[in-house]
Amino acid sequence: MKVSVVVPAYNTGAAIQTCVDSMRAQTMPASDFEVLFVDDGSTDETGFILDRAALENPNFRVFHIPNSGWPGRPRNIGIDQALGEYLYFVDDDDWIGPEALERLYAKAVADDADIVLGRLAGHGRAVPREIFQKPLSGAHVRTHPLLLTSMTVRNLIRRDLLSAYGLRFDEGKVRLEDHMFMLRAHFAARRVSVLHDYTCQHVVRHEAVGNNSFARIEPVSYFESVRRIFDIIEANVEPGPLRYKFLSNWYTGKILNQFTGAGFLSADAAFQAELVAVTSQLTNERIPLELDATLNARMRVVAAVLRTGSVELCREFAAYSARITHEPRLERLYWQGEELVVGVAAQAVAKTDDGQAVPMRFVRYDGRTYLNLPDALARVPSVVAAADVTDAVAGARIRVFARYREAGGDVFLAGATQLEEAHYFDGTFGLVEHGTARLAPLTLAGTKRRADVLDLHSVVDICGWSSTRRLGVNRAAEVDECRTPAFVGSPALFVNPYWTTPHDNLSVALGPGLAPAGRAATGLRHVAPVVKGGRLHVEVPLNVHVPGGVEAKADVTLECTDGRKVKVPARVAASGTSIASGVLTFSAALTDMASYGPVQWKLRMHHAGKAVDVAAVLTPVNGVWRLG
């Protein structure tokens, strides 16, 4: 048995069928993996659905246990019952890609890895993104701290690793039990790998237990779990910079992040006070003051605020921080060879109460650059010192990523950023980021040339703030003029940049929808078909980008008004006169088409199993063929 999939389940109802179906659809042979569903005392139809699935699938097993109230015990039962060389953890309302088990296991074997992280896609919830931008083999959390950004349990883990170190999940209602489990597993592991180029698991927002609003956090117990994570770190990492990296992951993610957004502002005053009291005590007890200096500017400021123990100052910073976002503008969109160049400009802004956007401001004095904080924060010396962003502003950047609509997952595009200062009458200034990204369709489509749609987003990172927005609705007029579909690669892949309906955002379709090519015929009045050697030679200019050397094999069906059809081979290649245009070329035997008088022949182009009517017709007039 290669893989045992462990799925804890509780009152998921019909939604669990998606998870079940994804297990059935695996490309790994059913004899090589098993699925262990552990029903944690469901009171709805979940247990019945799982029992029926087990009857229909010999490699499925179901265990029914009294309700434990949390995933820890069901996962431990799965660990105890598993027969596989590796374990793979999946939640009950998530699902996995068809090739997930096959690819994860192959990666584990190739790298002799104890843990393999597979790319995740979030549906209504955030998932780690940076860790899945490139492959990784032979890593360890001590030498590759980026692994800390993905402490989810949704990984492939060698079963012998768990047995050798007695690794188990904490049972009962223990928050962050998955973080404690994975942190211990990472310390025990010899080698860790990352599978970056296939979306293994689709993670869905859990309506019942996945809401991270403050109403669902009990501060004392929640931060007791954070304290236990600090204990694990201190037991495994020597004092110094490396320990600071480990501590800061949970310090920023689980403590300081509580005070950076609308969640804190929406909580009642009593809860705010309790949260500040508990977290400021934990911070002052367990986090060395010098660690704060290693944080990004945003986190340095909130750390300085939290250490004061002032609820009011925490409210001030949360209100300031929650308003920061960015407004992107699409400035350029054009083909360069087989790549689509995307030019974007953006400025970090603060949203006002009436929905207006004002630039995020900075101020300089004594040769240093600072965040232009609200007055209440600017009166606290420790907070002002933390707001020194002299070194950080140079690292501000705008990036573009493509999100696979069908396969799931985000891929950042190669690019660069240039910064420009915008100065204002009051002596403050803002930062405008100009970015250029390059979308390589052949790389994103993969070796199997899977059809998909890429939704393009911009991300602005500035002094610790990071905001994500869709691209396209705000764009320069020339972008519409330059937007064209393209044939790239060999065999040719059809790529179509388009505006979504109704939101008018930019997406890029990777084959096989040919509709844009069908509407792309241009300048037909000036093109004359040629009769030579008993054949009719036709060239149809298309407003479709075709890089030099690329040739798309196609067929053309000529359909007469009386129903007669003639199918002939055709190709689409560069026109030779413009890198932005292509030409559809074909040759038909006159014996198949002549003697019908002045009848029109409609053109229909076929490529990669799809067909589209080309906006052109052939007409014989007094023995001369016209294209129009």
Give the pLDDT band of residue 210 (cuts 50, 70, 90).
very low
For residues 9 and 35, give the distance between their C-alpha atoms in angstroms, rounded to a whole number.
Answer: 12
Could you please report the per-residue DSSP string of 157-171? EEHHHHHHHT--PPP
Average pLDDT, integer, range 352-358 = 89
> How does pLDDT run across 60-72, given as a tens digit for each residue?
999 999 999 889 9
Give the pLDDT band of residue 620 (cuts 50, 70, 90).
confident
For residues 427 and 547, give the distance between their C-alpha atoms in angstroms, rounded to a whole number.
Answer: 49
For residues 486 and 488, give the distance between their C-alpha atoms in angstroms, rounded to a whole number.
Answer: 6
Which residues on neighbouring strands pair with residue 627, listed in sequence order?
618
For residues 259 and 270, give the distance between their C-alpha atoms in angstroms, rounded to a whole number.
Answer: 15
pLDDT of residue 209: 36
Query: What six digits make up the tokens of 531?
Result: 């009769």
> How does pLDDT run across 17-49, given as a tens digit for each residue?
999 999 999 999 999 999 999 999 999 999 999
Amino acid at 108: A
Which residues on neighbouring strands pair with residue 343, listed in sequence order?
332, 436
Average pLDDT, integer, range 596-619 = 87
Give the pLDDT band of residue 622 (cuts 50, 70, 90).
confident
CA angle 428, 431, 432 (to 5 degrees): 140
Q: Check pLDDT > 90 for residue 596.
A: no
Average pLDDT, integer, range 96-116 = 98
Give the pLDDT band of residue 211 (cuts 50, 70, 90).
very low
For residues 342 and 471, give the distance between their C-alpha atoms in angstroms, rounded to a whole number.
Answer: 10
Amino acid at 223: F
Could you please report the per-residue DSSP string of 595-606? SS-S--EEEEEE
CA angle 237, 240, 244 (to 5 degrees): 75
Name which CATH class applies to 3-204: alpha beta
Average pLDDT, integer, range 99-109 = 98
Q: Which residues contact 219 (CB under 8 A, 6 or more apart)?
A: 271, 274, 275, 278, 279
Enumerate the H helices of 343-447 as residue ranges: 375-378, 381-386, 441-445
130 and 177 Cβ atoms separated by less than 8 Å: no
> What is the b/e burial string over 473-497, where b = at least 16 CB atoms within 10 angstroms of the residue's CB?
ebbeeebeeebbbbbbbeebbbbbb
Pairing of strands 339-351, 465-470: unpaired
For residues 219 and 432, give the distance between their C-alpha atoms in angstroms, rounded to a whole number.
Answer: 39
206's enclosing H/E stretch is none
303 and 383 Cβ atoms separated by less than 8 Å: no
Amino acid at 485: P
Question: Which residue, among 423, 417, 422, 419, has the nearest Cα to 437 in the 3D structure?
Answer: 417
Comparing 21-30, 71-80, 197-206, 387-396, the range with the smallest average pLDDT is 197-206
Q: Check pLDDT > 50 for residue 215.
A: no
CA atoms within 13 A on the CB side of 34: 20
> How does pLDDT run across 511-565, given as a tens digit for each residue?
888 999 999 988 888 888 998 988 999 999 999 999 988 999 999 999 887 788 8
pLDDT of residue 560: 86
Could you tell me the sign of the dihedral formed by the alpha carbons of 265, 271, 276, 278, in that order? negative
Counting DSSP H helices and E strands in the chain, the numbers are 18, 31
Average pLDDT, integer, range 577-605 = 80
149's enclosing H/E stretch is none
Q: How far is CA 57 from CA 23, 74, 290, 403, in A?
A: 10, 21, 57, 33
SS3 category, 262: helix
Pairing of strands 192-204, 115-123: parallel
pLDDT of residue 625: 87
CA angle 321, 327, 328 (to 5 degrees): 135
pLDDT of residue 354: 87
Could you tell me the sign of the dihedral formed by the alpha carbons of 83, 85, 91, 92, in that order? negative
267's enclosing H/E stretch is none
For residues 534 and 552, give the distance between their C-alpha atoms in angstroms, rounded to a whole number.
Answer: 25
Query: What six digits make up the tokens of 132?
Result: 């899945």
Q: Check pLDDT > 90 for residue 363.
A: yes
Question: Which residue, among 256, 348, 369, has the nearest Cα to 304 in the 3D structure?
Answer: 256
471 and 505 Cβ atoms separated by less than 8 Å: yes
302 and 248 Cβ atoms separated by less than 8 Å: no
Whole-number percent of the chain with pLDDT over 90: 83
> How does pLDDT run across 261-295, given as a tens digit for each residue?
899 999 999 999 999 999 999 999 999 999 999 99
> What is the b/e burial string over 408-419, where b = at least 16 CB atoms within 10 angstroms of the residue's CB?
bbbbbbebebee
425, with CB counted inside 10 A (0-12, 13-18, 19+), is: exposed
28 and 1 Cβ atoms separated by less than 8 Å: no
For residues 251 and 286, give the distance between their C-alpha atoms in angstroms, rounded to a whole number.
Answer: 10
16 and 50 Cβ atoms separated by less than 8 Å: yes
For residues 420 and 549, give the distance between their C-alpha atoms in angstroms, rounded to a whole number.
Answer: 39
Choose which CATH entry (2.60.40.10, 3.40.50.2000, 3.40.640.10, 1.20.140.10) describes domain 516-627.
2.60.40.10
87 and 116 Cβ atoms separated by less than 8 Å: no
Query: What six digits make up the tokens of 473?
Result: 């609705």
The topology (CATH level 3) of 326-354+392-509 is Immunoglobulin-like (2.60.40)
Give the pLDDT band of residue 382 (cuts 50, 70, 90).
very high
Give me the phi and psi of 475, to 5 degrees please: -150, 155
560, with CB counted inside 10 A (0-12, 13-18, 19+), is: middle
pLDDT of residue 359: 95
pLDDT of residue 584: 93
Tell me which of 489 and 598 has the higher pLDDT: 489
